[in-house]
Copies of this chain bind each other. A is one copy, B any other.
Amino acid sequence: MSVTAAQGFTAAGIAAGIKDNGNPDLALVVNNGPRLAAAGVFTSNRVKAAPVQWSEQVLRGGAVSAVVLNSGGANACTGPKGFQDTHATAEKAAEALGGEHNAGEVAVASTGLIGVLLPMDKLLPGIDTAVAALSADGGEAAAVAIKTTDTVHKTASATQDGWTVGGMAKGAGMLAPGLATMLVVLTTDADLDSATLDRALRAATRTTFDRVDSDGCMSTNDTVLLLASGASGKTPAYESFAEAVRTVCDDLARQLIGDAEGASKDIRIEVVGAADEDDAVEVGRSIARNNLLKCAIHGEDPNWGRVLSAIGTTSAAFDPDRLNVAINGVWVCKNGSVGEDRDLVSMKDREVRITADLATGSASAVIWTNDLTADYVHENSAYSS
């Protein structure tokens, strides 16, 4: 499991003292080759954290030998000093790792409060500690060290015909637009070039992390990296590899939703009968972001009127008098009006399934979100204080 499931990678997770409470807060993932191929997807927020700006630059080179990740501070909106700190982090890691490593191939990812400079006097020495702790079993420790409000650490892997894709994630969120802060590192020992990794990663994130919309808020720090070591000596067919990447991303995305801040329900919104996939996604997101619906679902109330209100705010193709909505399989709304008895809907389980049928075409999409709870309010009203 995790980032060390694939051959050719070592990792570590340690407590550098960035977090006041002494919990692990610094992770290091190292690609020991023979290849250093890499691809990355980042937040589409126009306000980008320093580590995102840095890592985007690193990825342009197509080679990543190591990733330094810290929790306890996002290093976002921190000005030129924040960028210098990220640069110094990469320099320090390259130096501590020695050998062929150079800062231009070290990606950096950060998560935590925006607008606060990182305590570099703790972070830089922490890198030495992390390098000393590197191990082929270090994936779990690394996954633990990137947690912020996560209640559990998140890892996944898939193995086929002698090659493996592994990964770790933190956050409860969405990439592009992006939510909370999501940091993901995926690794593989398949022998593939950066262009192939990029293609597989973009295809996978488009229908997994991109369709997780827990609270509609977009992070300044979202980062998903895929590194390939080539250590298995295997070069899988593109389709097999892409499917394995998608499987691991889907697994991690579901874990993110399942651990979303304060949530008591995981809500699967499937939009069907859409004219095209864009319409289906637009409608799904609009439903996912409707606070009134999210509260109703928290109260186990199949208030389908909120679903129709949300659909009505979109530009998707539909006729209001032909819309159908099912909640947990009961078609409570038919032809834009009252359908089956809402008392037939049971909402006791954590997973709630909403199907919105636009009755226009044959395209569909699935968006995952969570309910809105008093615990969410509590957690986020006390976050930075």
Contacts and interface: CB of A to CB of B under 8 A. Distances in A.
Nearest to A339: B115
Nearest to A289: B216
Given A377-B373, A383-B301, A383-B303, A217 B45 contact: no
A301 to B, nearest CB: 5
A318 B376 CA distance: 31
A320 B215 contact: no
B79 A313 contact: no
5 contacts: A45-B309, A46-B311, A217-B290, A292-B383, A374-B374
Interface string A307-344: 01111111000101101000000001101111000000
Given A45-B313, A114-B309, A380 B295 contact: yes
A43 to B, nearest CB: 8
Contacts of A378: 374
A77 B47 contact: no
Interface string A353-385: 000000000000000000011101111111111
Contact of A308 (B77, B382, B385): B77
Contacts of A323: 47
Contact of A117 (B305, B335, B338): B338
A295 B337 contact: no
What is the count of identical protomers in the complex?
2
Assign chain A's interface to a size class: 35 or more
Interface string A107-120: 00000011111000
Contact of A377 (B219, B304, B311, B377): B377
Contacts of A81: 337
A126 interface: no
Contacts of A296: 380-381, 383-384
Contact of A219 (B304, B309, B335): B309
